[in-house]
Structure 1
């Protein structure tokens, strides 16, 4: 064994050591809580080897960290106190009968302290790619030997630890896949109910919301009103500036609606440059006030990236949401009020 390489400073990483540390982090095991499955394997190691201390040790860059520890009383030690960093470079079980008599470990604080450890045996934890992450090891306070059957069992336990790590990795991947699937479903559900360009409710989801509101009103809920809004001269915006500016105009209109309407209101892109808003618990008179705020907010805003500034306006139809009236008739009346506003010169509100 090359003692110089084994004792390299933590900052002096070789390519192989960088790859080993990357593999260790790939398992996501460092600094996880104690787990019974790993503790049981450490107990088996202690029992089979008749040793007072048993560890499942993972060799990190600056420390060795114990996924399981029986008899030591700590979860990690500095890397310069690690015997396992030598064990992971060995082939098979690494045994040191007397640590005090070995020049590599004679000055180790774990050895030199009162009632220090004297014996070590560790079987490396080797990934399917042949990378050693740490060990299953046992320690004793007396110099001793470890028989071949015990060494073989220590090696068996190391393989069992790796199976647990592989299982954890597979479970983590499965959990991540489930999370990603849930997120994808949520995104799909959002897309199914949202207009992609403006982020407002789409026609389908808004129609469903109208039906729900109608049912509430039929059961004696508070009043509500509806606004149908159409951006004035929108075709000319597209023809003069291009569809990319038209898209910016639609986004600006949607953002203005978010500022003007309440969180309890529902605003949708009904189609093209036409928008619908449902205002629960709002009378027609209150709805007119909201419409006037919208006209003022549009006049104050400018479409981004257009010089000279391009300001939008909208024609608005306003109606009381009568629950006794068929929904399609209410929408037709709104549409008629909207076109009346257009015929009256646009940038105004007409109440049906």
Structure 2
């Protein structure tokens, strides 16, 4: 048996999955109707919507199994999320990756498996829509197309859940999404003794731009600011609009010096944008920056509050 590999973007993938806040929730008809249809259409005993967590696969919709989750190490879905293509195993006993897998040797005695990777809005693969049979079978081209059509519907339902954590104007994470992601990253960094830094931003003189040039112009400022900032960040960094003209970035695995260099690069990019802009104003910001200290920050809220206070102290000093 071969354990599934870990995707290169695993941290980003887990952040997106946990931001959905869907793990360990009750079954929902919008997913269950799709797995019921899959069972009937393909005449299989098992159909699932499976989400691949850090060390388990958990079933948001499950027909044909008496359990709600299994270990990721023995999961077929852990293999399926490694590619954008549908994974089809016509006879698991003849596939070296699965022949001695306990889910093949014992209940549910998997022989046939088809799993379509379900992606979120940002393109990361969160889990699978899959069907399972205890008998070997072939999967025709028509079967594959029908199966993928159902899987795409399940993917759209996941996207609908994800939209609730995104800021409508800028397309980045909103406050709700940030709170979920930040808590997950905080606990992970605390557990693994990783560096964690947070920067809290506030746009300078944003109200004056809105008052003088209108809210549409203000919206363009917010979009430009978030776009320029996101270009300087890594995939694992969490950028969010917390509301109004306030933004935050959580840097996982980065110390305060690395974080400072990122802010310096962003300031240079913003200076270039302002120099080349024909706008009658410049985009400027104040910020507070803190690094996680176990003795000082016992929660993500404490870290955010510390950065927020630093930001306002800096803004007050600049206003003098």
TM-score by length of 2: 0.50
Give the TM-score of the pair, scaled to structure 1: 0.45
